[in-house]
Amino acid sequence: LQKCSRSSNTTRPPTHVSYNSSIFQALHVREDVCEKFKKVKKVPRWLRILKTIYHDYGLKHICLISVLIIYQFIGAGVFYLCEAGFDESKEKIWNMRIAENRTKFVYDIIPLMFNNTDYLFFLTQEQTNEVSLKLHTEMRRYEKQLGIKYTDQKIKWDFWNAMLYAQTICTTIGYGHLYPSTVAGRVFTMIYAIFGIPLVLSILDDLGKLLTRCLKTPWWLIKCACRRMFRYCTKQTMAEIKKLDEEDKRGLGRIRLSPSQPSVVDIEALEELEDRIALGQASQLDNTVRFRSRYS
């Protein structure tokens, strides 16, 4: 009996070794958590709430679209100020040249028709002025019948046409029905495109992710319904089905652009884990191991 008891005592592992190893692991994890806190800058609470609203409640999409609308209005206003006055001055110059050519034609034709020795018919100065006025009127009427008018561009520069031009720049369409004629308008077009095109591309990328999420949600609901309909064929319990549903639901969340950087939720988990380790709760080591493998 003494030999059996001695052999049983030799095979039994000492309890203080496992206790010391758990303490050593807890201290090691605590040091690792402290290093993580040194690398990760703590974010204020109001900023965390603002980030949550910005990313999780659709404020990001509204802000991007609002920035684009404001940018379009600013661009349209600048283009209108640069081009509208120049367009009006070009039309005035064209009308003045037409009027000068018309007057020259009238004063050239009166001596040929009336004050000519071949016809022996002369007009006084008063009669010449009356005939000139009538000829001017008839010439204007004849020009309207011919459709002679200022047609430098099909569309005039007003605010909404300037807005359309700004949109064609940002979307890289470049229809060409409207274009700037001044040097300031051309220079501003290049500057406007440098910032406007990346803004539109970022909005398209964001809306594409939103559309993908909207398409994934009905597919997730269909998968959940199919799991419950065919659970007798797959021989899965409701607990397993709910677990699979939760895993698929996590995939519907927002996509993090930089997975190597801890998020707000990870920082809160680190704070909670540090408090638990400080209290000696070594049962949370598995969560820490998962966190370390996630960012390693």
**Per-residue pLDDT tens digits for 222-261:** 888 888 887 777 777 888 888 887 887 776 654 443 444 4
Residue 250 falls inside a structural domain = no
Residue 65 falls inside a structural domain = yes
Residue 279 falls inside a structural domain = no
CA distance 114 to 219: 91
Residue 34 falls inside a structural domain = no
Residue 274 falls inside a structural domain = no
Backbone φ and ψ of 43, nearest 5°: -100, 135
pTM higher than 0.75: no
Tell which residue, 183, 187, 249, has the closest CA to residue 220. 249
Tell me what the mean pLDDT of segment 49-65 comes to: 80
**166 C-beta neighbours (distance < 10 Å), count:** 24
Backbone φ and ψ of 121, nearest 5°: -135, 115
Residue 145 pLDDT: 67
Tell which residue, 171, 155, 10, 169, has the closest CA to residue 83. 155
CA distance 127 to 7: 146
Residue 158 pLDDT: 86
Residue 241 falls inside a structural domain = no
| Centroid of chain to Cα 238 | 42
Domain of 122 in residue numbering reads as: 58-207
Instruction: 9-17: list long-range contacts, CB under 8 Å, 24+ apart.
Output: none
Residue 24 pLDDT: 60
**80 C-beta neighbours (distance < 10 Å), count:** 21
Residue 211 pLDDT: 86
Output the CA–CA distances (angstroms, integers) from residue 109 to 56, 114, 126, 131, 135, in the order listed. Answer: 80, 9, 17, 11, 10
Residue 268 falls inside a structural domain = no
Whether the pLDDT of residue 6 is over 80: the answer is no
Beta bridge partners of 115: 121
**What's the total number of domains in the chain?**
1
Whether the pLDDT of residue 142 is over 60: the answer is yes
Q: State the pLDDT confidence band at 143, using cuts at 50, 70 and 90.
A: confident
Instruction: 83-91: list long-range contacts, CB under 8 Å, 24+ apart.
Output: 83/157, 83/162, 83/180, 83/181, 83/182, 83/185, 84/157, 84/158, 84/162, 86/181, 86/182, 87/152, 87/153, 87/156, 87/157, 87/181, 90/150, 90/152, 90/181, 91/150, 91/152
CA distance 58 to 92: 51
CA distance 64 to 227: 38
Residue 290 pLDDT: 46
- Cβ atoms of 254 and 55 within 8 Å: the answer is yes
Tell me what the mean pLDDT of segment 3-22 comes to: 50
**109 C-beta neighbours (distance < 10 Å), count:** 14
CA distance 234 to 227: 8
- Residue 195's domain is classified under what CATH number? 1.10.287.70
Tell which residue, 136, 106, 143, 138, has the closest CA to residue 114. 106
Please provide the average confidence, as pLDDT, over all residues in the chain: 72
Residue 176 falls inside a structural domain = yes
- All residues at 6 or more sequence positions from 266 whose CB lies less than 8 Å from its CB, including other chains: 291
CA distance 63 to 203: 10
